[in-house]
Structure 1
Amino acid sequence: MDVLSAIEKRREITHFKPDPIPSELLDKLMRAAYLAPSGNNLPSREFILVTDRKTLRTLAATTPYMKWLEQSAAAVVIVSDPQLSKYWLQDASIAGGFLWLTAVSLGLGAAWGAVYHSEDPQESERRECYARSQLSIPDHLRVVAIIGLGWPAAEPGPKQMYPLERVVHRERY
């Protein structure tokens, strides 16, 4: 599947079949995240691949909005190092996007669980501390997101978008 087709097909999938993801596909997903660009090509983001069912169920409690993680076959926890790069959040987010689009291209579904919360530092701290405690993540790393992965239980309908002209401007606003 070409990149634009994956972008057009991408949806938030929150119901998964119980089937595991083969290790060769997990390797491709991790390679996609690894190959994502980062500011000054610094390794400011790192990835924790989780396939253990018990750990996935435990991580679902990181935020009130990730109950779907209990059904996922795998998850990738994206952490980032603000001490290494001032672009830590952008680097982690871009890697998550690459991972998600690769999942779609492989026939998998994905859902983004935001852990870092820029508008609520206390909530962000609570979420990040919880994930750190479950996965032994060092304190200096920020926990940006948890992406749940699996085989979609159902194929969602077409994406309903606003007109392209509403958000695309040429030459000037």
Structure 2
Amino acid sequence: MNVHKAIENRRKITSFSSQKIDPEKLDRIVKSGYMAPAGNNLPSREFVVITDTEVLKEMSEATPFMKWLAGSQAGIVVTGRPDVSKYWLQDALIASGFLRLASTEEDLGAAFGAIYHSEDEVEPEKRESHVRKLADIPIDRRIVAVVGLGQVDENPKPKDHLPFEEMVHYVKFKDS
């Protein structure tokens, strides 16, 4: 599959089979996150790979919107390092996108579970503390997200997008 097909075929998968993930596939997916670009090529993001289903079940409680993680076969915690780069959040999010595209390439399903968000100080702290404890993540790392992976149990239909012409502007921004 080429990258364009992976982008077109990517879906948020929240229903996984119980089949284990081939370790070589998981390694290739993790490497794609590692290879993702980072501002000034600084090591501002790191990953914790979790395949213990009991830990994944506990981690799914970090937020009410991540219950699907309990049924996944792997979770990749994506962390950011504000002490290393002011672009830590962008770097972690770009890496998360690479993880999701690589999972599509490997014929695995993936979902993105947001842990950090900048609109609220209290909620992200609760979410991050929960994940930090389970994965033994140092306090100087921010926990951006958990990407859950697994064999696809069901394929959701493609989402409807707003018309391309309403979302993409050439030369200048235009009001619709």
Using the size of structure 2 for normalisation, the TM-score is 0.97
Q: Give the whole-Å Cα distance in 2 for the aligned partners of 1:170 and 1:139.
A: 43
Q: Secondary structure at 1:159's aligned position in 2? A: coil
The CA deviation string for residues 67-121 of structure 1, in whole angstroms up to 9 with x for no partner, is 1011001010001100100000000000000000000111111010000021111
The CA deviation string for residues 22-78 of structure 1, in whole angstroms up to 9 with x for no partner, is 110011011100000000001100000000011111100111111101100101000
The CA deviation string for residues 2-36 of structure 1, in whole angstroms up to 9 with x for no partner, is 00111011111100010010110011011100000
Which residue in 2 is equivalent to 1:136?
A: 136
Q: Secondary structure at 1:155's aligned position in 2? A: coil
Q: Give the whole-Å Cα distance in 2 for the aligned partners of 1:108 and 1:2.
A: 15
Q: Give the whole-Å Cα distance in 2 for the aligned partners of 1:44 and 1:128.
A: 17
Amino acid paired to 2:42? L
Q: After TM superposition, what 4+ stretches of structure 1 lie above 2 angstroms from structure 2?
A: none
Report matched runs for 1:84-99 at 5 Å: 84-99=84-99
Q: Give the whole-Å Cα distance in 1 for the aligned partners of 2:97 and 2:103.
A: 10
Amino-acid identity (%) = 49
User: How far did 1:158 drift?
Assistant: 2.2
Determine if the alignment matches structure 1 residue 6 to structure 2 residue 3.
Answer: no
Which residue in 2 is equivalent to 1:105?
A: 105
Q: Give the whole-Å Cα distance in 1 for the aligned partners of 2:7 and 2:132.
A: 31
Which residue in 2 is equivalent to 1:158?
A: 158
Which residue in 1 is equivalent to 2:15?
A: 15
Unaligned runs of 5+ in 1: none
Q: Give the whole-Å Cα distance in 2 for the aligned partners of 1:104 and 1:118.
A: 28
Q: Give the whole-Å Cα distance in 2 for the aligned partners of 1:155 and 1:67.
A: 18
Q: Give the whole-Å Cα distance in 1 for the aligned partners of 2:112 and 2:73.
A: 14
Give the count of matched residue pairs.
173
Using the size of structure 1 for normalisation, the TM-score is 0.98
Q: Give the whole-Å Cα distance in 2 for the aligned partners of 1:36 and 1:117.
A: 21
Q: Give the whole-Å Cα distance in 2 for the aligned partners of 1:136 and 1:34.
A: 20
Which residue in 1 is equivalent to 2:146?
A: 146
Q: Give the whole-Å Cα distance in 2 for the aligned partners of 1:161 and 1:67.
A: 25
Which residue in 1 is equivalent to 2:50?
A: 50
Unaligned runs of 5+ in 2: none
Which residue in 2 is equivalent to 1:119?
A: 119
Q: Give the whole-Å Cα distance in 1 for the aligned partners of 2:85 and 2:162.
A: 35
